[in-house]
A and B are shown apart, each in its own frame.
Chain A
């Protein structure tokens, strides 16, 4: 009798632990290929540092070229790289488009091409991933480009979507404090 009670308590503890772990990972797809994700993360980190350095030197063209080269690589799918792979892609595309908007005279690209680039970066799985600042920024940049194209209603929709994502993130940050 005593032994069965102990077993019950242990089972409850294990169950609650599994539930908490599940909640912590809720909405986050684990990568099927962690090797692809780790390699991608290293590439992105190196590219960010290189871009930081180039911008400090005032070489915006080289910074843009660095991110363009990274953009041309084969990105892992959401199944292979998980949600984190998508977030890394959004991070790179976001910084690339930000630089292109900030330095329009460097290797000029039409707004329509920028919009296509943003849609390429967002992909079909942008709304499936959990709210994160990189996706929110990419959506906000899409709003800026749409505004430049004179599509004010679409721009407003993009801004509202980005603000909603950030509101969720800020609330989460405040809850965690």
Chain B
């Protein structure tokens, strides 16, 4: 595609690139940019045209920015972004934490003691059978001792002379 078939608008940024490329082709055999300076006036005109076009674009961008700022300013702020939330939320969180700790302590007090009493009953249930067997064994021992004493007393009454002991 050639420039005659589809001329570029002077405001097209590619136009400057094409102009500089064409100027580069016009370099002499010794590489000296003999004709480079000839495109500068044209570039100056192009920059002037771009500059003339820019205020309209800048105005539109400026308007967008203003409208966006107005929209932000006039939009209703969500409650969670309200100013009072920033100081009330920490206070509420602290109060909730205190309430939680206090309630847990109130619940844990009797609960812990109930658990201790239950644990002690379980330990008793565990230890009681062996203890009762031990009691029975010791009572048997006492019974044998008693039997021995009674036998000795019976023998003493039957065989030993009366008044043997002082």
Contacts and interface: CB of A to CB of B under 8 A. Distances in A.
Interface residues of B, number: 23
What is the predominant secondary structure among interface residues of chain A facing chain B? helix
B145 interface: yes
A170 interface: yes
Interface of B: 109-110, 113, 116-117, 119-121, 123-124, 126-128, 130-131, 135, 138-139, 142-143, 145-146, 149
B120 A34 contact: no
A57 to B, nearest CB: 22
Contact of A88 (B113, B117, B119, B135): B135
Contact of A38 (B119, B120, B146): B146
A76 to B, nearest CB: 11
Interface in A13-27: none
B117 A140 contact: yes
Contacts of A173: 127, 130
A51 B146 CA distance: 28
A166 B123 CA distance: 7
B127 to A, nearest CB: 4
16 contacts: A38-B142, A41-B139, A41-B142, A84-B142, A133-B127, A136-B124, A136-B127, A143-B113, A143-B116, A147-B113, A147-B117, A155-B113, A159-B117, A166-B123, A169-B127, A173-B130
Contacts of A41: 135, 139, 142
B39 to A, nearest CB: 99
Given A132-B131, A147-B113, A140 B124 contact: yes
A143 B131 contact: no
A84 to B, nearest CB: 5
A59 interface: no
Contacts of A132: 131
Given A84-B139, A163-B116, A163-B120, 18 more contacts: A31-B142, A34-B142, A34-B145, A37-B139, A41-B139, A132-B131, A133-B124, A134-B131, A136-B127, A137-B124, A144-B117, A155-B113, A162-B120, A166-B127, A169-B127, A170-B126, A170-B127, A173-B130
Nearest to A81: B142
